[in-house]
Chain A
């Protein structure tokens, strides 16, 4: 399938599409996490490019001045290191939201690095604040920050974002989400491996959706006629998976990761923007009410969302995987209960490294789990 090859190409080199677009004159806005409204960025005439970590990157060159990251997930440290090392100096702008703690610490690190050395190869960085609590006052605060962000984009582009342009952007992003929902259904039927699915989903965050959507439509049509892959259907939850290493390891044990709920997987496309009122308000509402990240809102709410997600996944087993300092870890016990109530056996791999520290240990545990033995 040539579409899959294209997605794999742009997934494995996440900067490639953006650089090609830049060569043709497109301005680029990089962003971290999935709580930055792509619709605003697109409507302002920029190409949004999500920034993944760089597993295995040598962070030594970037390490000075990163003490603010403190005890953070290696995932975020790696992301920060890539940016400091200049891997994203080609971006016109960078947006870091107030997401998980290590991400907003990353903003402090980037800000201070740039202040200390204005020539540092770090793009102009904008902080998009966002509350983590669920009060009405929090929503009002977040709404105001989103409106400020929209104004900032207008400054960057030098022109106002029209309702028409924003509606077009919403329609485009909603089409991507809708196609990804179809893709998730095919994935659930094991028509594609979990590792390949990550490439397909991830490419949607690195490519222009106008190019991406027709390719995904075509891939979905081909997958519909494909044979299901053999092996147990596994639901994966826990730390964000911005690379295929772990899924490849898990699937090498004879199963298929047919569903997940992390922000580089199925959660990336969870809810569309519903066009009900003013389009700007509708976008803001979507980002405030999308499926919560593992540190937003309450444990009870997240467990309830998880229960619904896994119940609809048709999975035969669930793997929970958290890395050190991972806020997901506090969700796991309640969520494991939800899975077990549904009769889905669970495996929990905790305090793991990013990237995976001991592949053989993970394979042994997964193999034992899939065969029904104790790990």
Chain B
């Protein structure tokens, strides 16, 4: 308890954008429920599968990741997974929380009373189980399921320094046959939705949707650059995590305007000299998926060491990954982004840690030896620490041991090096 109090005291002032986003999401979901009651279609999909297409159709979307985060926030995962297990699905549960909530069928506990019946669910074989989960979910709701092929980063190595070409020359990064397949499958999905809903697809409107996505990405990029190049750090990593879901609502002008508001707020902070930690001495990069079960962990090293986690991948994904010049073929531009977002490239993560002028980086290992991320960071001249544990399951996270490991890392790998010798990055 004493530790909790100590950590609470370290809470930093939160961005207004975080609250604005939460309010927008709440309003958006309630509006969606009203629209569906009135007969409007709606779609469930993953964050990078169908959103821009559905926005163009005027069909609201709920992304699996966002819905899962709402369920997790209500701490209902255990109860819902038990409901799923009663049906025989007692296994490793990655990506199945939305299905579990629907199977539990308990409007009293579900966020906002639960999801209404979707018009369709879109999914892909991103992982072996993801297709099965979406198919079962659609069956549970009694709605159609559309599967879109997943080709991309798991199979192809990310081209070297892809981020230098992904905005304007994405067609040089991806083999033609892979782009052809993805573009063709997006066309098949559009035809399926047209037949299902009777709504025509407006290609010009789709181009405008992608332009809004690009504008939104540009605001992220400008915000990221402000955060990266400002010492001391103006935005805490907890706020950065809380803003992740903004990038999951793409193509909506209201959300683009929120991204603009975020940029302006951060700019104000920078101009006024706001600091997450006034006594910032050490800048750290969080290199793997967020420690969602315990975001207070990141604040534990400020008081003693002036060590601040200044960044993770989450602000950088939309900054480097989302923008795609339309180049006369908006569907192909979208296809290119769905194939190559770059998030799995450890060299890109190391590039971002350098961009943020970090002294070191920390992440959770996989237990299968030194990770590719660790190798890439060390090669880039950035000290790297691999922790053990699970980023979402608090039962598999040893707080004391991991705090001690980070403290040791700071002392032995960063503070032991004279300040003038730190941040000597290699290409």
* A contacts, CB < 8 Å to B: 63-71, 77, 98, 100-102, 104-105, 107-108, 111-112, 127, 129, 131-135, 137-138, 141, 144, 294-295, 298-300, 322, 324-327, 329-333, 336, 348, 350-351
Contacts and interface: CB of A to CB of B under 8 A. Distances in A.
Given A64-B369, A67-B365, A295 B131 contact: yes
Tell me the dominant secondary structure on chain B's binding face: loop
A351 B125 CA distance: 21
Interface in B165-207: 177, 180-181, 184-185, 188
Given A137-B188, A322-B91, A330-B89, A65 B151 contact: no
Given A101-B154, A137-B181, A322-B91, A132 B372 contact: no
Contact of A330 (B133, B147, B148, B184): B133
Contacts of B89: 329-330, 333
Contact of A64 (B127, B131, B151, B370): B370
Given A329-B91, A336-B88, A67 B184 contact: no
B148 A67 contact: no
B149 interface: yes
B129 interface: yes
Contact of A333 (B87, B131, B157, B366): B87
B369 to A, nearest CB: 4
Most buried by A among B128, B136, B147, B157: B128
A67 B346 CA distance: 12
Interface residues of B, number: 40
Given A131-B149, A132-B131, A137 B136 contact: no
A272 to B, nearest CB: 27
A133 B149 contact: yes
B34 interface: no
Contacts of A108: 154-155, 157
Nearest to B89: A333
A104 B154 contact: yes
B94 to A, nearest CB: 8
B135 A65 contact: no
Given A98-B155, A101-B154, A141-B181, A67 B91 contact: no
B91 A330 contact: yes
Contacts of A107: 155
Nearest to A102: B128
A299 B135 CA distance: 7
B132 interface: yes
A327 B94 CA distance: 12
Most buried by A among B89, B124, B149: B149
A65 B91 contact: no
Contacts of A101: 127-128, 154
B121 to A, nearest CB: 13
A132 B155 contact: no
A262 to B, nearest CB: 15
B304 interface: no
B302 to A, nearest CB: 29
A295 B371 CA distance: 27
Most buried by A among B131, B370, B373: B131
Given A67-B366, A329-B129, 14 more contacts: A65-B370, A67-B370, A69-B368, A112-B157, A132-B149, A133-B124, A138-B181, A295-B131, A295-B132, A322-B91, A330-B136, A333-B87, A336-B88, A348-B88
6 contacts: A64-B370, A104-B155, A112-B157, A132-B149, A135-B185, A329-B129
Contact of A67 (B92, B124, B129, B369): B369
Interface in B361-403: 365-366, 368-373, 375
Contacts of A326: 91
B147 A112 contact: no
Nearest to A320: B88
B88 A295 contact: no
Nearest to A72: B368
Given A98-B155, A129-B151, A295-B125, A71 B92 contact: yes
Contacts of A77: 368
A298 B148 CA distance: 12
Contacts of B90: 350-351
B369 A63 contact: yes
